[in-house]
Structure 1
Amino acid sequence: MSEWRGRDLGTRTVSYDDTQPILYALAVGASASDLDLVFEERLSVLPTFALTLAQWAPDALGSAGAFDITTAVHGSQRLRVREPLPRSGSVEMTARVAEVWDKGSAAVFEVAVESEYFEATWSLFAPGSGGFGGDRGPSARRRPEAEPDGTLPLQTSPDQAALYRLLGDRHHLHIDPEAAKTAGMPRPIMHGLCTLAALTLPLAESQGAHPADLLELEGRFAAPVFPGDTLHVETWKDDEATLAEASVDGKTVISAARARFT
């Protein structure tokens, strides 16, 4: 597996008009009254929209045969904003395999995407691909030992996954009950990136910030979230950022989350 480290995944330019960032904002929980997120004349693009533009990169690695795409899962995500995304335009991105970590029974592939607007890293957990004698890599950030500084609810919509998949990730697991059952799920699940992005809206509000002013975001996908679930989010202040964990009925679904706004 170490031969994949450093592999160039190519360059791609993705174009969009203002329809896509508006649809994206609605898909991650913005309302019709959030005019600066859903009205083209006042539009500020949510920085996490970039992750839909760059989805081709982890898909390209799977298509190249690095791992079994039927069993690999999205483990965690990082995003660092360089410049605000325009309301419409074209974004040129380059991608590479930044690291391959050996977790024993599995490998973790880190796919890094860069553009003038952002840097993003997908961590893909591939069962059965480990044991090649490589470095285990860093451990995930642990839950803070201190009591949370705050809590907030995050209500997802029963239709949220159906809406989010129109942004490009049309895996059947998010819409087809039969595909979900085949994957061992009782019903279709939310996209991890949708849940993580949705979390930034109440986090921004809790800090008196605007969600489009996000500078950094990261989080680990600990367990599936189902459309319609209500997430219980706990937060901790960490210098200029906010740490967070989200759970559903006492089960952690997003861990090691960190968000920083201007």
Structure 2
Amino acid sequence: MSPTEQTPMTPDQWKGVDLGTRTVSYEEKDAILYALAVGAEAGELDLVFEKNLRVLPTFALTLAQWAPDELGSRGGFDTTTALHGSQSMEVIAPLPTSGSVTMQASVGEVWDKGAAAVFEVKVESPFFVATWAIFAPGSGGFGGERGPAKTTRPEQSPSSTDVLRTSANQTALYRLTGDRHHIHIDPEAAEAIGQPRPIMHGLCTLAASTLALARRLGAHPADLSSVSGRFAAPLFPGDSPDLLSWDETDGTAFELVRDGQPVIAGARARFHSHSGK
């Protein structure tokens, strides 16, 4: 049987597959562009000015985007229908202001949700460990485990309710950091997926939330030590969703809510410079 005639792998057969190693280089201006794209302000000099520059930890996710793309290009899931379901990241060490990062990627768990499969793509480096959860409609029903229940918000009232103000130009700027999918810039592409206009990148929205949280907590955004969240609904550039947060002993729980509906749900973040309650 020729390679082109081989039987396609079932979703569960992707578990543990090595997706390769890649070294990605960047310059100071790339880290600064990223900071501006996720909402850093001109007065936050150590994020937007090369003097005493600190790199936002979530910048690493743009360097590692090749990993879920690699799984899609290998046929793990249908790239035209798959959705970025959730994201988590643990920070090991600060990113240098410029240089190269070597990353190794693999497929983690593959969960069977019945009508869909969820592929976990894990990326490891000396600076961070990050996991993408890719929701793949039509790939479920293979008899695998359903996986853990969704993380939910705390039952008590939020410790704080703030507003996350996004820019009308935010997706146009953020796509220059690497994710140039047309749904974030082209009205026709957005309409094709049932959206009235281009939508925000999930990772941009998640990172912007961590900046707002850091300001509220009095922490430095570059001191982020971990973050996770589930992408529940689209957000549009220029929107100003509510940022609900709950102070906990081991960090901060948060949700981003637009018109009463969660945009980012069941999220958690920790900062080295803030110890929680």
TM range (shorter): over 0.9
Instruction: Report whether the alignment pairs 1:191 with 2:201.
Output: yes
Instruction: Report whether the alignment pairs 1:40 with 2:47.
Output: no
The answer for the alignment partner of 1:92 in structure 2 is: 102
Distance 1:240 1:92 in 2: 30
Deviations 1:112-163 (A, max 9, x none): 0000000000000000000000000001111211111111110000000000
Q: Secondary structure at the match of 1:76?
A: strand
From 69, 72, 75, the equivalent of 1:62 is: 72
Distance 1:140 1:251 in 2: 16
The answer for the alignment partner of 1:2 in structure 2 is: 12
Distance 1:238 1:219 in 2: 16
Q: 1:252 Cα deviation (Å)?
A: 1.0
The answer for the alignment partner of 2:254 in structure 1 is: 244
Q: What TM-score do the two structures reach when normalised by structure 2?
A: 0.94
Larger radius of gyration: 2
CA RMSD of aligned residues (A): 0.6
Q: Secondary structure at the match of 1:134?
A: coil
From 236, 239, 243, the equivalent of 1:233 is: 243
Q: Secondary structure at the match of 2:51?
A: helix
The answer for the alignment partner of 1:202 in structure 2 is: 212
The answer for the alignment partner of 1:169 in structure 2 is: 179
Q: 1:17 Cα deviation (Å)?
A: 0.6
Q: Secondary structure at the match of 1:75?
A: strand
- Count of matched residue positions in the alignment of Structure 1 and Structure 2: 262
Q: 1:172 Cα deviation (Å)?
A: 0.3
Distance 2:225 2:219 in 1: 11
The answer for the alignment partner of 2:122 in structure 1 is: 112
Deviations 1:38-87 (A, max 9, x none): 00012100000000000000000000001111000000000000000000
From 28, 53, 74, the equivalent of 1:18 is: 28
Distance 2:41 2:226 in 1: 23
Identity among equivalent positions (%) equals 66
Q: 1:234 Cα deviation (Å)?
A: 0.8
Instruction: Report whether the alignment pairs 1:221 with 2:263.
Output: no
Distance 2:215 2:187 in 1: 34
Q: Note the residue ranges of structure 2 that are not aligned, 5 or more in a row.
A: 1-10, 273-277
* 4+ long deviations beyond 3 Å: none
From 50, 60, 65, the equivalent of 2:60 is: 50
Q: Secondary structure at the match of 1:98?
A: strand
The residue type paired with residue 98 of structure 1 is G
The residue type paired with residue 121 of structure 1 is T
